[in-house]
Amino acid sequence: MSYKTIERTTEQLTKEDFASDQMVRWCPGCGNHAILAAVENVFPLIGYKKENFCVISGIGCSSRFPYYMNTYGFHGIHGRANAIATGVRLFNRGLSVWIPTGDGDSLAIGGNHFIHIIRRNLDVNIMLFNNEIYGLTKGQYSPTSKIGKVTKTSPYGTIEHPFNVGELVMGAQGTFFARVIDTNPKFITEVLLEAAKHDGTSVVEMLQNCVIFNDGTHDYVTGKDVRDEHQLILKHNEKMLFGKDKTKGIKLGMHGLEVIEIGKNGTIDDVLVHDMYRKDEGIHLMLAQMKPPHFPIALGVIRSADYDTYDALFEEQIVTAQKTGKIRSVDDILNSGDTWEV
Amino acid sequence: MSGNKKILNKESVVIKFAGDCGDGMQLSGTIFSESAALMGNDIATFPDYPAEIRAPHNTIAGVSGYQVHVGKETRIIGDECDVLVAMNPASLKANLKWVKKGGLIITDEDSYNEKALEKAGYTSNPLEDDSLSSYRVIQAKITTMASETAKALGLAPKSAAQTKNMFCLGMIYAIFDYQLETPFNLLDKKFKTKPQIADVNKKVMQEGYAFAENLELIESKVHIAQVELPKGRYRNITGNIATAWGLLAASERSGHKLFLGSYPITPATDILIELAKYKSLGAKVFQAEDEIAGICSAIGASFAGALACTTTSGPGLSLKTEALGLAVMTELPLVVVDVQRGGPSTGLPTKSEQADLNMALFGRNGEGPCIVIAASSPGDCFYQAYNAAKYAMETMTPCILLTDGNIGQGSELFRIPKVADLPDIKPPVAKPNDPDFKPYRRDPETYVRQWAIPGMEGLRHRIGGLEKTDIFGAVSTDPLNHAKMVENRSQKVQRLANRLPLQTVDGEKEGDLLLVSWGSTKGSVSTAIKEVRANGKKVSHAHFSNIMPLPKNTGEVLRGFKKILVCELNSGQFANYLRMTHPQYQYLQYNKIQGLPFTVQEIVNQINNLI
């Protein structure tokens, strides 16, 4: 219930309230600049007091993020942002916790914390910058690099199957998963606002381009020539339509999702309507798995299911114990059980 | 109830209850020690159990023991046993070497069948050959007698046989002339929801008592001397429980709620289990997915204003080292409790050692000074945990508290303090909207920075693992700034010594021999010194609780002696630390690395070799 319980501001905040005085040191042309702008835009929209935002990161290009935001910020160690953020949020539910992280930070060295924070459904917002490469260490393959990818540490091509972030999130019983691309800051802002409103762990996968070490890795989705065919922008309660003139749609067939062309091998009535609040993750998982050449990639909020959050249950146990518990002080503990006077 | 038997008086007695895992030896031990304490004895206890939860039946590996030292003054659990209760051949075989010559062995004849003897590794029955001739042995059909009593009260045969531990306990109470009222009350409490079981156990205990009363072999009854204690309210306490309570007390006094991020590990888990109970005090206890998440969640909570703690043992401390460096760099308060066990690697999980000192002092990449302190006894764990929290918060630096399996799981009498009487804890919390706040501005005396807590107005700032500029806290790789920040962090820890108590010496300030100890060995060393002093020798003792930084007068203390003997349960880590910090003195070492505490006799022998 953080969206309703974190203290809100009466001030009219703007982007400038969150801009830091530090020089942003990402490479020119890096997708992170657009994401930063989107986050600076969304914080005033969310409406919390500016002191209640906390940005917690690990290590990697993405993880320099806290230095570029004027909030309370913590730049941690590699892979541990989700664990550090767990302590922040559990200790103070009055804070809105944002975790910029990367495909190395959260899916390789920090994979354990990533799956467990999601499994617990702690109310935090994870922004997973996925550029399918290790940027800060200058170009080694990551757990999301496409199979066969030639990098400095895979001169013969990778022989590892990449993670699909959405599959991993839903496999860990995730309650919120969205996907955006760094070329559309306005859309990122919209999706992050949805993430902020969600009670529980929200994971927003950001397809982000590393101009230096993996330029163009998302071109098959973002390229001008293909984007209409390869992007399905999901909106709650709307038909799943895509293509230049929205003439294609997604249908649930006998063996899973299918692409239909309206008027050719299906009608508009066959096209699925997106229900992001659906609790059953079946269709959400299928949507997250879609990829070219046979399918478009699903963008926007794929899943936003309402479940209890860990921090709410954690607090509830404490509040109940404080009402009913017999132990009111450490003196009570010290004098409990068998004691005697000498 | 002493009947016609003679009365012998003894200063103290060591009793060990040993049997197969599942024979109820831990229960016998705790009931006996609790009741002895309630009836006026000083106590020290130590459970000694296998790493396996249910090791193979009747084997040496499956022997579970509980040693109790009762008497007038029991600083240690005792070297050798006056009485061994051995429920089966394996427990006799495993423990015989710890029984005093002439000591009493009570053993269950029913368990000495061919198979059990073979499993224990006996080629002949020790009850029939001459191998026990230097001990007094009571061999009796304990299972049979206990079962008959219990069955008559309606228990099924299997459950009836399980009451044999109570029969033995009854015998012990008779031999030492204790009344049964106190143990009966403990049983009533223990089986509150099953009064029938309580009654059966009481009846069997009474039978055991009567059986021992009528034994001709027991010619006399032994009265164990009562403890002379300062006035106050007392209880029995283990080190792990005391650690948990010390942290809670520090939370209460500092006004910062406790956050514990931990992952279960032997022998530290009991602290996590204990703290998980106190939600009514607002304690936030988080069982993390691993050791790293344990410390990292604690660091996050510390950033958010908690008294943040993580508890572990050696292998877990290894996993936490990178994050410890982060806490050093961000200058956040953090308490790390290491209940040491035998190492390296998985090592001896249920045995004790003091071999993590080097890791606590030096186990970080880069220059990463932490505060390091150690507890000397189960009850001292309360005060040292309190101090660890105080030092960490007031110095904005991680503090590692070293305890170990011996004191963590062992227990002793504890004089209950009032929380209000404990020293103040005043963390340097920043004031909201302070226009002068800078993340790394320091107090000129203490070098401590301020704690600005997320949510506070007007203090937004960023901290992290990268080196920061002095005062302002911006990311910096400037060479001279780095040198200055390294010095600042080091000075901050060193200057804590200005606020710590001076090192004390037990005995003369100058002389031929100073024994130096730290941590859980205090009891053995001080008891040995008491013993040699009784024989006219002059030996002094300096026991260190504060290790990093060392007390300011450490050099003065060491200067007064011709010989300095450093006793520790490792290969010389504290001795080497003293060589490094005070190289002008010569240090002799006495080390033991067997997963066992020092015996008093071992220390006495060392002293006698030197003077």
* 3-class SS letters over A93-127: CCCEEEEEEECCHHHHHCHHHHHHHHHHCCCCEEE
- Does B451 lie at the interface with A, CB-CB under 8 angstroms? no
Of B259, B281, B416, the CB nearest to A91: B259
Q: Report which of B452, B535, B552 is spatially closest to residue B499, judged by C-alpha positions.
A: B552
pTM: 0.94
- Does B327 lie at the interface with A, CB-CB under 8 angstroms? no
Cβ–Cβ < 8 Å for A9, A49: yes
Contact between B229 and A91 using a beta-carbon 8 Å cutoff: no
For residue A84, the chain B residues in CB contact (below 8 A) are 296-297, 299-300, 303
Cβ–Cβ < 8 Å for B287, B264: yes
In the predicted model, is pLDDT for residue A127 greater than 90? Answer: yes
Taking CA–CA distances from B248, the nearest residue in chain A reads A330
* Complex confidence, ipTM: 0.97
pLDDT at residue A3, as a whole number: 63
| Listed range (A73-82, B92-101, B219-228, B451-460) with the worst mean pLDDT | B219-228
For residue A70, the chain B residues in CB contact (below 8 A) are 460
Contact between B259 and A90 using a beta-carbon 8 Å cutoff: yes
Confidence band of B79 (pLDDT split at 50, 70, 90): confident
- Does B366 lie at the interface with A, CB-CB under 8 angstroms? no
Residue B9's SS3 state is strand
Size of interface A-B (CB pairs under 8 A): 200
Distance from C-alpha of B537 to C-alpha of A265, rounded to nearest angstrom:
103
Pairing assessment for the beta strands A256-261 and A248-253 based on DSSP bridges: antiparallel
Distance from C-alpha of B336 to C-alpha of B389, rounded to nearest angstrom:
9
Distance from C-alpha of B511 to C-alpha of A235, rounded to nearest angstrom:
85
Name the burial class of residue B176, with classes exposed (0-12), middle (13-18) and buried (19+) by CB atoms within 10 angstroms of its CB.
buried
Contacts of B151 (CB under 8 A, 6+ apart): B157, B160
Q: Report which of A234, A236, A280, A286 is spatially closest to residue A258, judged by C-alpha positions.
A: A286
Phi, psi values for residue B79, rounded to 5°: -75, -60
Q: Determine if residue A309 is left, alpha or beta; phi over 0 gives left, psi from -120 to 50 gives alpha, anything else beta.
A: beta
Phi, psi values for residue B553, rounded to 5°: -95, 15
For residue A116, the chain B residues in CB contact (below 8 A) are 289, 293
Cβ–Cβ < 8 Å for A97, B303: no
Of A72, A87, A320, the CB nearest to B460: A72
Domain boundaries, chain A: 2-217+308-317
Indicate which of A74, A93, A116 best probes the interface with B, i.e. most B CBs within 10 Å of its own CB: A74
Taking CA–CA distances from B260, the nearest residue in chain A reads A87
Tens digit of each residue's pLDDT (9 = 90 or more) over B318-354: 999 999 999 999 999 999 999 999 999 999 999 999 9
Indicate which of A84, A106, A314 best probes the interface with B, i.e. most B CBs within 10 Å of its own CB: A84
Residue showing tokens 């200005």:
B498
In percent, how much of chain A has pLDDT > 70? 99
Phi, psi values for residue B450, rounded to 5°: -90, 155
Tens digit of each residue's pLDDT (9 = 90 or more) over A240-285: 999 999 999 999 999 999 999 999 999 999 999 999 999 999 999 9
Taking CA–CA distances from B279, the nearest residue in chain A reads A318
- The stretch B524-548 carries a mean pLDDT of 96
pLDDT at residue B2, as a whole number: 45
Distance to chain A for B309, nearest Cα, Å: 11
The architecture of the domain spanning B511-610 is 3-Layer(aba) Sandwich (3.40)
Distance from C-alpha of B303 to C-alpha of B284, rounded to nearest angstrom:
15
Return the ∠ at Cα B347 (arms to B341 and B352), rounded to 5°: 25
DSSP codes of every residue in B560-574: TEEEEEEEESSSSHH
The architecture of the domain spanning B235-421 is 3-Layer(aba) Sandwich (3.40)
3-state secondary structure B476-494: CCCHHHHHHHHHHHHHHHH
Side chain identity at B96, as an amino acid letter?
L
- Does B507 lie at the interface with A, CB-CB under 8 angstroms? no
Q: Which residue ranges does chain B devote to CATH 3.40.50.970?
A: 235-421
Helix H or strand E encompassing B189: helix B181-190
In the predicted model, is pLDDT for residue B3 greater than 60? Answer: no
- Does B421 lie at the interface with A, CB-CB under 8 angstroms? no
Confidence band of A297 (pLDDT split at 50, 70, 90): very high
Q: Which residue ranges does chain B devote to CATH 3.40.920.10?
A: 6-224
Residue B69's SS3 state is strand
- Does B186 lie at the interface with A, CB-CB under 8 angstroms? yes
CATH number of the domain located at residue range(s) A2-217+308-317 in this protein: 3.40.50.970
Q: Report which of B598, B494, B517 is spatially closest to residue B564, judged by C-alpha positions.
A: B517
- The stretch B256-271 carries a mean pLDDT of 98
Contact between B297 and A340 using a beta-carbon 8 Å cutoff: no
Contact between A90 and B297 using a beta-carbon 8 Å cutoff: yes
Of A71, A328, A334, the CB nearest to B460: A71
- Give Dmax over CA atoms of chain B in angstroms: 87
Residue showing tokens 């320091």:
B442
Give the Å distances, CA to CA, from B81 to B96, B103, B378.
9, 7, 21
Distance to chain A for B464, nearest Cα, Å: 4
Phi, psi values for residue B412, rounded to 5°: -155, 170
| Listed range (B150-159, B300-309, B372-381) with the worst mean pLDDT | B150-159
Taking CA–CA distances from B309, the nearest residue in chain A reads A87
Taking CA–CA distances from B460, the nearest residue in chain A reads A72
- Per this entry, what is the length of chain B? 611
For residue B319, the chain A residues in CB contact (below 8 A) are none
Task: Retrieve residue A272's tokens.
Answer: 């699925």
Measured on CA atoms in the order B349, B355, B360, B364, is the torsion positive or negative? negative
Q: B6-224 has which fold? A: Pyruvate-ferredoxin Oxidoreductase; domain 3 (3.40.920)
Phi, psi values for residue A151, rounded to 5°: -135, -175
